[in-house]
Amino acid sequence: MGESLKGKVALVAGATRGAGRGVAVELGAAGATVYVTGRSTREQRSEMDRPETIEETAELVTAAGGQGIAAQVDHLEAEQVRALIERVEREQGRLDVLVNNIWGGELMFSWDQKLWEHDLDTGLRILRLAIDTHIITSHHALPLMIRNPGGLVVEMTDGTGQYNAENYRISFFYDLAKTSVIRMAFAQAKELAQYGGTAVALTPGWMRSEIMLDAFDVTEANWRDALERQPHFVISESPAFVGRAVTALAADSDVARWNGQSLSSGQLAQVYGFTDIDGSRPDAWRYLVEVQDAGRPADATGYR
């Protein structure tokens, strides 16, 4: 993308690891100034208790060619979010891209438990992390964004609108969390349109996040070793792929054509022509329906 976003200011809320980090780095590679937030710093870990930090993400953004700025923020705390947006306004005077990627509930699920069996407090905590954080962040960030036409809100989720409407997503709380985010994008799209703004929901495919790689005991360099345990992992993608999807949207002068829609990284790769780091274009959600869910043997031929 070169310097297609030079002069633009982005906030990636929830950029400590995974999709958030991938998005932040790719926005930086396109020349953007990127505020990266999260709870884990080099001095303090969040309840996720993972080694990744927002400082590392900011350094990766800068190394990629942008300006990475780390800010420790708990997006459930409205005053912290308000202070963050005031800082962005004070330092930059504008906000062009908001990526709502806050999550942090991966390790809280009891996947095999029904709603009435799942610990209620934990389930409600999952929903707060997945939904309330996004609402709080948009509430404070959008007044700054609408000062200039062309602003973009990306609500990161798991699953397309169509897939999630037709399939139960494993757990009551997970299903509700990821489907709600898609509707939030639709609602914001309606409210932003008159100000020249755009909001979309965006999902990666089966993403090789740090947590996923650890689960399979592999690294990005040897991820294919995981195929012995899970052959369908062959369709997986790096976090950079969805990052390139966000960057392509942010650089598109006609991005409003997508307003209110549910999109996927694989879908946008076909439109914008970007690739994953290995040069492929994995189309995970089509693969999921036509191969994995259909009970066919794992084979990504024609899907990446």
Structure tokens that stand for 4 in this block: 């297609």
- Give me the residue label for tokens 């008159």: 194
The number of domains in the chain is 1
- Is the pLDDT at 112 greater than 90? The verdict is no
Structural domain contains residue 4: no
- Give me the residue label for tokens 């912290």: 80
pLDDT at 107: 76
CB 53 within 8 A of CB 44: no
**Predicted confidence (pLDDT) per residue in 167-208, tens digit:** 999 899 999 999 999 999 999 999 999 999 999 999 999 999
Interatomic CA distance for residues 203 and 282, integer angstroms: 13
Q: What is the mean pLDDT of the chain?
A: 96
Structure tokens that stand for 108 in this block: 């809280």
Q: Within a 10 A sphere around the Cβ of 124, how many other Cβ atoms?
A: 11
- Is the pLDDT at 5 greater than 60? The verdict is yes
What range defines the domain where residue 71 resides?
A: 9-292
Interatomic CA distance for residues 148 and 301, integer angstroms: 44
Using DSSP's 3-state secondary structure scheme, residue 72 falls into strand
- Is the pLDDT at 51 greater than 70? The verdict is yes
CATH number of the CATH domain containing 162: 3.40.50.720
pLDDT at 151: 98
Q: What is the mean pLDDT of residues 291-303?
A: 97
**Interhelix angle 239-251/18-29, nearest 10 degrees:** 50
**195 Cβ contact list (under 8 Å, min separation 6):** 146, 149, 151
Structural domain contains residue 178: yes
Structural domain contains residue 104: yes
Structural domain contains residue 3: no
- Is the pLDDT at 1 greater than 70? The verdict is no
Structural domain contains residue 141: yes
